[in-house]
Amino acid sequence: MAMASAAITQDEKPNYLNADYGIKSWLLTTDHKRIALLYLISITMFFFLGGFFAMLIRLELLTPAGDLVTSDTYNKLFTMHGIVMVFLFLIPAVPTVLGNFLVPMMIGAKDLAFPKLNLASWYVYILGGCWVLYAIITGGVDTGWTFYTPYSTTFSNTNVVAAAVGIFIAGFSSIFTGINFIVTIHRMRAPGLTWRRLPLFIWSNYATSVIMVLGTPVLAITLLLVAAERLFHLGIFNAQLGGDPLLFQHLFWFYSHPAVYIMILPGMGVISEVVTCFSRKRVFGYDFVALASICIAVLGFLVWAHHMFVAGISVYAAMVFSLLTFFVAIPSAVKVFNWIATMYQGSISFETPMLYAFGFIGLFTMGGMTGLFLGSLGIDVHVHDTYFVVAHFHYVMVGGMVMAYMCGLHFWWPKITGKMYPEGWAKLSALLTFVGFNLTFFPQFILGYMGMPRRYHAYPPEFQVLNVLSTAGASVLAVGYVLPMIYFVWSLRYGQDAGPNPWRAAGLEWMTSSPPPTSNFETTPVVTWEAYNYDEIDKQQEVPVAS
């Protein structure tokens, strides 16, 4: 007689969702799990706002002429798309939604080190996000999300200061989260949980937090100086005074390059968790994958000027940055190889999270390799500021990071809500996302190589076919994103009850009920096993076949 679980419904067992009711219990919560859900809702809203701008961009690009919107409006569209997607979606998404929910649980803690700081982090994010919304509603910004001077400081007539202040405020949200994670991981691990027994999701979020803490302040001061130049004529970047517009670019990219690693590292952490679970195998080369996260964080700070190869830096500097850019690809490649080696001779199954993980590995690899093309000086001269760059970063950010986010949402949805999503619809969405993504962005590699510049609302007629394919792909991709919104909400009411560990996954978060109680664990766990001990897990749950 196998485990006969009593039919206890969600409503009867006390958990963090039914622990308290009313809007105040959510808006004044210090429970990391509730804060994660607050973030989930706000981030989803900003994702669709950014997607709305993308839709307008792709609609304009259906025809070669600039006929849907004026060029000024088009400049605002791609700027707002970039600002919303980068600062209000990609940077926070996995750390604040999945990280906030899971980091304490994965280390056996009751909450993060600074629960009130965690809530403050969300409020600061909302304040920054609303400030950016204000900038959008009152006319938008047209400088590009990169705010290059002197256009942003002197010539643009749009809401540069408002947008800069909004991003500045939102940056503090990152900093608070980063501080919280670092201190939590250092100080609050359960007894027996040594560093080398930690799930790789923790290592990834730790490395991400280090980057957040070191890099975000530099963006903060850079944006502040742009605002100061506009408001108070403190002309630090003003060429008429002898100021250097390139100084802005150096300061800006010093944050914004590590920022892309803030975006991707947590996603990689998700993939490590999912690939091991659905291969029923411990990760290949745990130490190397953990070390790779740290190396990406460190090396990521050394390559910023590869965004500036044709901006007027010296050839010798460019060569150094190109070489360093090649180095930073190595730890990412190590991770990809180790995931694949994990799958080798594993017992692979194709549930939705694993489908997204496969998508991630393929698309991130393509994006990463095209990053190497861009890091090669000769090629970059040809494709810089073309759609090749746009395709590259969308491959790593959307094909990589957003897929990893969807992967993680599906994998941990049963834990977060206690419900299973409908697997058929989920698989369909994953497929639509993959097909739609490739149809959207692969043509852009070709367009860029053929010379179509980025940030242009009109283009030569010979580029139209590829642009139409791209827009068609974007429509499919949109469906792939809208469907999960629908079925996730549906599952809250009608989804199958999940139980504590529907995936038979390793990890402390699966050893408590779904949804978890407010204090996460009935008693603090004591850890005596290695991470990803799937051979032990599968042995324990072998049920002898009745003869």
- Does 216 bind other proteins (CB under 8 A)? Our answer is yes
CB 192 within 8 A of CB 528: yes
* Closer CB to other proteins, 259 or 363, in the complex: 259
Distance between CA atoms of residues 374 and 322, nearest Å: 9
Using CB under 8 A, which of 97, 135, 136, 175 touches other proteins? Answer: 175
Q: Does 236 bind other proteins (CB under 8 A)?
A: yes
Cis peptide before 515 (omega within 30 of 0): yes
Closest CA to 362 of 430, 296, 434: 434
The token duo for 383 is 């494709």
SS (H, E, C) 115-127: HHHHHHHHHHHHH
119 binds other proteins, rule: CB under 8 A: no
Could you tell me which stretch among 196-204, 244-252, 376-384, 411-419 binds other proteins (CB under 8 A)? 244-252
Q: Which stretch binds other proteins (CB under 8 A): 88-96, 174-182, 194-202, 309-317?
A: 174-182
Nearest distance in Å: CB 52, other proteins: 33
- Which one among 232, 316, 528, 543 touches other proteins, defined by CB under 8 A? 232
Binding status of residue 314 toward other proteins by CB under 8 A: no
Residue among 224, 446, 472, 537 that touches other proteins (CB under 8 A):
224
Distance CA 442, CA 439 (A): 6
Q: Give the whole-angstrom CA distance, residue 345 versus residue 482.
A: 35
Per-residue mark of binding to other proteins, 129-168 (x: CB under 8 A) = ----------------------------------------
CA–CA separation, 503 and 382 (whole Å): 48
CB of 100 to other proteins, least distance (A): 16
Tokens of 444: 């852009």
Residue with token string 């950016």: 132
Question: Shortest gap between Cβ of 228 and other proteins (angstroms)?
Answer: 6
The answer to whether residue 99 forms part of the interface with other proteins (CB under 8 A) is no
Asked if 114 is part of the footprint of other proteins (rule: CB under 8 A), the reply reads yes
DSSP H stretches of helix in 239-303: 245-279, 286-299
Sequence-separated (6 or more) residues with CB below 8 Å from residue 426: 352, 410, 484, 487
> Taking each helix axis from N to C terminus, what angle separates 32-60 and 71-83, rounded to the nearest 10 degrees?
160
Nearer Cβ to other proteins (193/251):
251
Contact 161, 230 (CB under 8 A): yes
497 binds other proteins (CB under 8 A): no
Nearer to other proteins among residue 43 and residue 113 (C-beta): 113
Site for other proteins in 250-289 (CB under 8 A): 251, 254
Stretch that binds other proteins, among 32-40, 87-95, 234-242, 279-287 (CB under 8 A): 234-242
Among 69, 213, 291, 469, binds other proteins (CB under 8 A): 213
Q: Residue 502, interface with other proteins (CB under 8 A)?
A: no
Span near other proteins by CB under 8 A; candidates 208-216, 411-419, 441-449, 450-458: 208-216
CA–CA gap between residue 29 and residue 120 (Å, rounded): 10
Q: Which is nearer to other proteins, 258 or 436 (CB)?
A: 258
Does 183 participate in binding other proteins (rule CB under 8 A)?
yes
Work out which of 222, 272, 293, 514 binds other proteins, going by CB under 8 A: 222
**Residue 313 found at the interface with other proteins (CB under 8 A):** no
According to DSSP, the residues that pair with 497 across neighbouring strands are 419
Query: How far apart are the C-alpha atoms of 294 and 204, rounded to whole Å?
Result: 8
Q: Which stretch binds other proteins (CB under 8 A): 55-63, 173-181, 337-345, 539-547?
A: 173-181
* Residue 62 interacting with other proteins (CB under 8 A): no
Residue pair 153/230 in contact (Cβ under 8 Å)? The answer is yes
Alpha carbon distance, N-terminus to C-terminus of the chain: 14
Work out the angle between the directed axes of helices 352-375 and 315-343 (0-180°, nearest 10).
Answer: 160
Residue 113 touches other proteins, criterion: CB under 8 A: yes
432's tokens: 């639509």
Nearest approach in angstroms of CB 380 to other proteins is 25
Which of 10, 146, 238, 464 contacts other proteins by CB under 8 A? 238
CB of 235 to other proteins, least distance (A): 5
> What whole-number distance in Å separates Cα of residue 135 and Cα of residue 141?
7
Applying CB under 8 A, the span of 242-250, 313-321, 402-410, 413-421 interacting with other proteins comes to 242-250
Q: Which stretch binds other proteins (CB under 8 A): 137-145, 176-184, 337-345, 402-410?
A: 176-184
SS (H, E, C) 365-430: HHHHHHHHHHHCHHHHHHHCCEHHHHHHHHHHHHHHHHHHHHHHHHHHHHHHHCECCCHHHHHHHH
Sign of CA pseudo-dihedral 164, 166, 167, 168: positive
- Which positions touch other proteins (CB under 8 A)? 113-114, 117, 175, 178-180, 182-183, 186-188, 213-218, 220-222, 224-225, 228-229, 232-236, 238, 240-244, 247, 251, 254
